[in-house]
Every structure is written in structure tokens, then in C-alpha cells.
Structure 1
Amino acid sequence: MTVNIVTPDGKVYDHHANMVIVKTTSGEMGLMANHEPVVAPLEIGEVRVRRVDNPGHEDSIAVNGGFMEMSNNVVSVVADSAERARDINLSRAEAARQRAEKRIEEAKTTQDTDELQRAQVALQRAINRINVKNGN
């Protein structure tokens, strides 16, 4: 099957795979060739792809929301943003985590619930990128 991951900035990933594992809003879902058609909303999380051309290796992609569709042996992921593990700058991700944690503390102090929610999402995204880069 073919796996495509696209964002508003363009294609992030395009390979043939034996299996794809995504984090949907209702839990993890594993997809293999000839899976029945399905559409599912995605959480902030890791997409893992077991490629045909490299048995025993898994590509990891940090995905920040969106949805996936499986149809006719094509898995399409449309995400707000996505980044392959090899392309993640760990120091930038760590800095983003620290900024988000600071924003959370400030929002709690000022009781700004909207800013608190935005900062919590930013923290989730940063932690996701860190975990994907570190292979967690």
C-alpha cells in the first residue's frame, strides 16, 4: 500500500508500506494492505510506517492533528503540520516545550483559559516532536 502525508505546506511523506499505525481520537489504529475503507480524525501523535523496501525499520512522523483516510490501498494523512523524525531539530523542540510550559504558568496566574488551552496544545506538540525524535 502507499502512504502519503500532506500538510498545507506540501507533501511530507510518500512511500510504500506493509503497515501504518496512527493515533486516532479513539485510540491507535493499525492498517495493512486491503484494509476496509476508513476515515478517522487524528490526535497529536506519531505516525509509524513499516516500509516495504526496508524490513525491520519503521519511519516515524510527528503529526499535529488532522485526519487519515484508507481507501484502495492508499493511506492519506492530511495534517495541520507533520515532521519526519530525521528532520526534527531537537533543540528547537526543547525550546518550544520550555516556552509552552512558561505560557501555561502565566495563563494559570492570569486565569486566561483561552491562552491556557493554546499553551497546552503547544506543549503537546513540542512533547510529540521530542518523543518522535528520541524514538519514544
Structure 2
Amino acid sequence: MAELHVQIVTPAGIVYDHRASMVIVKAIDGQLGIMPEHTPIIVPLTINGVRIKRVTNDAEDLIAVNGGIMEVRNNVCSIIADSAERSRDIDVERAFAAKHRAEESLRKAEAVHNNKQQKRAEISLRKAINRISVSKHNRS
């Protein structure tokens, strides 16, 4: 049976490196399911969880990825992101604190009509919500 080698890399190093039967990502144009023998592809990713169905124990891993690029070629799925965290590694309290800070920043930016600050706060809020959502996968 064919399988994918999945690797998620950030500037801090390798976050994930395993064999998989399927990878599900959210690209800018929508959700993609990648299986072995997939046609070569390079796509930009959004802030979202990456679902990986492992070959070895039929488990599913979820990784919080804050954007990036995915390349699939020759049964290798490489994701390069600014930041990524496995569900088991997410500090939920810190994620909720980041969410509250982003919400406050967003309110302030909207009050003074500062579009640049508003965009930054919206991105920070999406990242915090993504981390919180992915962390729930580890606790169920």
C-alpha cells in the first residue's frame, strides 16, 4: 500500500515527520485531501488545522498551522509554515490569553478606524482561535 511522507517545518525546525494515508489542509481556494500518488501540487495554506491520518496506528493527528505553503511530489507532502503546533503541545491558557488580547486590539483598532492595526488584530485572533480549536482534538 502506498503512503505519504508528511513533514511540517517552521523556522524553529521540524514540527511533524510521519507516514500517512491522507492529509487534509485548507488552502486559500478551499479544502484539499491529499492521498498517496497525488499529482504534484504547490498551494498556499490558510490559518487552519492540518489533519493527518497516520499509517502506523490508524490515528489522526491535528496540527495548528498558521498559513504557509504545501508541496506534494513523489508521495512526499511538505508544509512550510511560519509557525505550527501539534495539538498536544498547545498551551490552552496562553492561547485564550492571546485570543483576549487580539479581541481587545481589534476593538481599539476599529474604534480609531486604523485598518492596518485592524488587519493585524484579525490575523492574531484567527491564529489564537485556530490553536484553541486544534487543542480540543487532543483532549477528546
Shorter-chain TM band: over 0.9
- In 2, Cα distance between equivalents of 1:28 and 1:89: 26
Tell me what 1:24 maps to: 27
SS of alignment partner, residue 72 of structure 2: strand
- Deviation, structure 1 residue 77: 0.1
Cα distance between partner residues in 1 of 2:40 and 2:112 = 47
- Find the aligned partners of 1:22 and 1:70 in 2 and give their Cα distance: 12
Size of the aligned set, in residue pairs, is 135
Equivalent AA in structure 2 for residue 46 of structure 1: G
Unaligned runs of at least 5 residues, structure 1? none
Please report how far the alpha carbon of residue 111 of structure 1 lies from its aligned counterpart in structure 2 after TM superposition: 1.2
Question: What residue is the counterpart of 1:121 in the other structure?
Answer: 123
Distance 2:27 2:64 in 1: 13
Percentage of pairs with the same residue: 51
What letter is aligned with 2:85? Answer: E
**Structure 1 counterpart of 2:10:** 7
SS in 1 for 2:117: helix
Unmatched 5+ residue regions in structure 2? none
Runs (4+) off by over 6 Å: none
> CA-atom RMSD, angstroms?
1.0
Match in the other structure for 1:39: 42
Matching residue of 1:78: 80
TM-score normalised by L of structure 2: 0.94
